[in-house]
Amino acid sequence: MSILNRFRLDGRVAIVTGASSGLGVAFAQALAEAGADVVLAARRVEKLADTAKLVERAGRRALCVPADVVSPEDCRDVAAAAAGFGRVGVLVNNAGVADAVPASRETPEQFQGVLDVNLCGAYWMAQAAAAEMTGGGSVINVSSVLGLVSTGLPQAAYASSKAGLLGLTRDLAAQWSGRKNIRVNALAPGYFASEMTARQQAGHIDDIVSRIPIARTGDPQELAAAVVFLASDAAGYVTGSTLTVDGGLTVT
């Protein structure tokens, strides 16, 4: 197999959660361009139609499934729908929420709500998808540089959830890589255009960019390319790892 062919995902079904907007859309489109059929999951199912059009424009099939990853039952429904669509080979755990609340004022409900989506939801979805990856596969947990460093905003719940994803990634890789032939890796994105970053104050983004060696925010396609790498046979000897895609933010 040639090097370029190792990046192909032909004959595989990829599940992308949080596929209704932002980075989830870029991930779904990139996976389709690499040859995968894509199952699109999100709470805002009405928005999935636009993502599906991008997948189909790339010549692949799309299946939209309404789901809230907080619900283990919803996660099992997504995985079952994907199994009915073809050979499940990829899961991108992208669904997430963020909340910038000072720790002295954050309520138990606010803190738990972020963990339920970002960390527990990823776990339930990984469990459900792994049960359908009978021929092996790749799980990609979308963490954040905020799981590694602080950038100044009061985001205890978000940072905790994203750091927790890194530990979850290592543990699932140890459990599944040999026994199930399922590789599990994490992405730690820096600052990319998304609904989350759009809600932040412009001054904060400018401050972050001033600390990035590459001196700009990321292009979603740059992160989507990393997803395709981790999903594909090109990363066949990579598991339990965290791939930081942040323009160098974490080295400053």
Q: Indicate whether 247 belongs to any domain.
A: no
Q: Kindly report the pTM of this predicted structure.
A: 0.95
pLDDT, one tens digit per residue, over 144-168 is 999 999 877 889 999 999 999 999 9
* Alpha-carbon Rg for the chain in angstroms: 17
Q: How far is CA 63 from CA 28, 103, 136, 239, in A?
A: 11, 40, 21, 28
Q: Indicate whether 252 belongs to any domain.
A: no
CATH code of the domain covering residue 232: 3.40.50.720
Residues marked active site are found at 158
pLDDT of residue 107: 95
Q: Indicate whether 197 belongs to any domain.
A: yes
Direct distance between the N- and C-terminal alpha carbons of the chain, in angstroms, rounded to an integer: 39
Domain enclosing residue 101, as ranges: 4-242
Q: Indicate whether 80 belongs to any domain.
A: yes
pLDDT, one tens digit per residue, over 178-192 is 999 999 999 999 998
Residue 212 confidence class, pLDDT cut points 50, 70, 90: very high
Counting the structural domains of the chain, the total is: 1
